[in-house]
Amino acid sequence: MSTLESALRIALVGNPNCGKTALFNQLTGSRQKVANYAGVTVERKQGRYTAPSGRTVDLLDLPGAYSLDAASPDEAITRDVCLGIAAGERRPDLLVCVADATNLRLHLRFVLEVRALGLPVVLALNMMDAAARRGIRIDIAALERELGLPVVETVAVRRAGAQALVERLDRAVAPSALPAPEDLHVEVRRLLTLCVSMPSSTAATDDAIDRVALHPVWGLVLLAALMFLIFQSVFSWAEPLMEGIEGGIKALGEWSVQSLPQGPLRSLLSDGLFAGLGSVLVFLPQILILFLFILALEESGYLPRAAFLLDRLMFKAGLSGRSFIPLLSSFACAIPGIMATRSIQDPRDRLTTIMVAPLMTCSARLPVYTLLIAAFIPEQTVAGVFNLQGIVLFGLYIAGIVSALVVAFVTKRLYRDRSEHVLLLELPSYRVPHPRDLLIGLWERAWIFLRRVGGIILALTVLLWFLSSYPAPPEGAVGPAIDYSFAGRLGRGLEYIFAPIGFNWQISIALVPGLAAREVAVSALGTVYALSGSDETIAAELGPLIAGQWPLATALSLLVWFIFAPQCLSTLAVIRRETNSWRNVAIAAGYLFSLAYVASFITYQVTRALT
């Protein structure tokens, strides 16, 4: 072996939700997403660490698989890498088969399948702490002997919990010499009898929680209450923080342009950067609160339960309970949501889920919703406890969900699909989310958001400022300078298309850069209004400004537009990649645009007739 190839290539394999990614993070120091449900990892991830001997190890994290007889796209990735038939990928030198020590009956079967591949295999018995708590005792020496594989204990979520594994991997491992058993299940039963003693088959707390959480009535009540609580909190908890950020930005904006002379630089800073970026930055607290809930739910193991409760409803609508988690992730962003559909076995269920995922209200739409709701919906308390603005926000989310169900239903009808679809979903044990993991998750989300603000949103805002400021108006022109600029003319042109749904030229302009990132629609409005107003207009106050200028019908129409509009090029790109078809992209963009236009048209005309 040449020195260049001397890095040892190790792949982590195992059943879904056994802790492969947590081990991967522990070994390589990465921060790949981990959560408590099957199918978090849907693509191969690569990392690297240095063994105590100084040898470099290339570590591959693979999606979980119940069997090498792959049933879904993510399982196929694992199969191909293990068999060495993945395109452009060298077969691993060694496999670490990870098994959940509390779930050995299921997981050992896969271990036997992996052992038969003929590669050197090390078995990592993960979650040994949970096994010990439940009184499960495993005779490691006997298991090693009977399996013919080295076996190490790990606790992937604990610091240094993978130390034994690192040390074992540093020594030579030979492929198992034992013949493959005729019936894997018989062999698993033999191994369990010989090596494992367990007092009871489930955790008592799981049973107790599930009696309520899966109850036909209380389960649904709990789910609805939980969802409602999330949207109430997004609105009411974030408010003081948002006011703080808003005030800070305004003060900073005023202070920093104070010493500058009138001119392009001053305009760029106050109209472009502070008016544009500031209006987006304000939404950081709301996005973090939303993510706090999503992260906690993901960690707890509740999400597959919700999928169980909703399966029938989603099946009627042409989806599957399996679509629930990808669709819920789409509330954060449709891109990871669409990628998460790889764990859906049925190709048609998967395609339908991908097509409706953009209807889930992603966090980038939150700034638009919040801006409009705060400006147009009075702050009132309904029935003593509920915040009216929170209820409207909840309603917008519900509108997205309902339209997704309707679209899925129509799709099912169009394809006249009567074939069988599968659910087959494993429900994991509950886990209390670890505060440290939640904080790391939130920190990462905050960082991603700030990078977006400092990257694409900043770039587009500056570009828009330029297009809205040049060419400068001719001498002696009347009216705001923006009327003479590129953006002003473009907006006036687009207004012909959007006037029937109530959008003025400022909104029409803002929709264009919103294609690259939805939040930019807000920052673009900030910039456009700052430039079209008189010099004294203080730009940070976009909300009161539009509240005074737009009719209610326009605001509602814009809200409805954002439920549907396919205004995100990255989402369209991911649809193209995951379905490998431009046709699907065209269908998605076409139907979303038509729905948006029709729904906004109705909203605008009806509201105008009523007010």
Partner 1 sequence: MGNADPIARRLRDLGFVRGETIKLVAQGPVGGDPILVQIGFTRFALRRSEAARVRLQPAGETA
Tokens of 300: 């707890």
Cβ contacts of residue 343 below 8 Å, gap of 6+? 16, 38, 39, 42, 63, 72, 74, 322, 325, 326
Closer by beta carbon to partner 1, 283 or else 324: 324
Say how many residues touch partner 1, by CB under 8 A: 38
Tokens of 202: 């489930």
Least Å distance, CB 162 to partner 1, is 23
Say which amino acid occupies 369.
Answer: Y
Least Å distance, CB 194 to partner 1, is 16
For the segment 577-606, give every residue that binds partner 1 (CB under 8 A).
none
- Residue appearing with tokens 């009806």: 606
Least Å distance, CB 96 to partner 1, is 21
Tokens of 8: 């040892």
Closer by beta carbon to partner 1, 90 or else 133: 133
- Asked if 315 touches partner 1 (CB under 8 A), the answer is yes
Among 308, 376, 449, 465, binds partner 1 (CB under 8 A): 308
Total residues belonging to the chain: 611
- Asked if 132 touches partner 1 (CB under 8 A), the answer is no
Tokens of 189: 């039963």
Least Å distance, CB 103 to partner 1, is 5
Least Å distance, CB 190 to partner 1, is 12
Closest CA to 150 of 126, 171, 125, 123: 123
Closer by beta carbon to partner 1, 48 or else 185: 185
Q: Is residue 540 helix, strand or coil?
A: coil
How many C-beta atoms surround the C-beta of residue 542 within 10 A? 26
Closer by beta carbon to partner 1, 113 or else 578: 113
Tokens of 120: 């050197």
What gap in Å lies between CA 48 and CA 29, rounded to an integer? 9
Among 299, 311, 349, 578, binds partner 1 (CB under 8 A): 311
CB 336 within 8 A of CB 329: yes
Distance of CA 194 to the CA centre of its chain: 43
Closest CA to 192 of 99, 120, 65, 115: 99
For the segment 180-199, give every residue that binds partner 1 (CB under 8 A).
185, 189, 198
Among 50, 202, 549, 594, binds partner 1 (CB under 8 A): 202
Least Å distance, CB 316 to partner 1, is 8
Closer by beta carbon to partner 1, 201 or else 258: 201
Closer by beta carbon to partner 1, 53 or else 205: 205
Least Å distance, CB 227 to partner 1, is 16
Tokens of 482: 């923006």
Say which amino acid occupies 329.
Answer: S
- Asked if 219 touches partner 1 (CB under 8 A), the answer is yes
Tokens of 597: 């236009």
Among 88, 179, 199, 216, binds partner 1 (CB under 8 A): 216
361 vs 185, 190, 390, 587, CA distance in Å?
Answer: 45, 50, 15, 19
- Asked if 176 touches partner 1 (CB under 8 A), the answer is no
Q: Using CB under 8 A as the criterion, what x/- string covers residues 319-338 for binding partner 1?
A: --x-----------------
- Asked if 313 touches partner 1 (CB under 8 A), the answer is yes
What gap in Å lies between CA 366 and CA 400, rounded to an integer? 13
Closer by beta carbon to partner 1, 85 or else 422: 422
For the segment 61-120, give every residue that binds partner 1 (CB under 8 A).
66-67, 69, 71, 102-106, 109
Least Å distance, CB 325 to partner 1, is 13
Q: Using CB under 8 A as the criterion, what x/- string covers residues 276-305 for binding partner 1?
A: ----------------------------x-
Q: Using CB under 8 A as the criterion, what x/- string covers residues 554-573 for binding partner 1?
A: --------------------
Handedness of CA 335, 336, 337, 338 (dihedral sign): positive
What gap in Å lies between CA 579 and CA 338, rounded to an integer? 10
Omega before residue 471 within 30° of 0, cis: yes
Least Å distance, CB 515 to partner 1, is 39
Tokens of 110: 């896969």
Tokens of 27: 């070994």
- Asked if 130 touches partner 1 (CB under 8 A), the answer is no
What gap in Å lies between CA 124 and CA 106, rounded to an integer? 15
Closer by beta carbon to partner 1, 252 or else 313: 313
Least Å distance, CB 422 to partner 1, is 6
Closest CA to 480 of 513, 550, 491, 548: 491
For the segment 388-447, give every residue that binds partner 1 (CB under 8 A).
420, 422-427
Least Å distance, CB 305 to partner 1, is 9
What gap in Å lies between CA 95 and CA 12, rounded to an integer? 6
Closer by beta carbon to partner 1, 312 or else 577: 312
In the complex, the residues that contact partner 1 under the rule CB under 8 A are 66-67, 69, 71, 102-106, 109, 185, 189, 198, 201-202, 210, 214-217, 219-220, 304, 307-309, 311-313, 315, 321, 420, 422-427
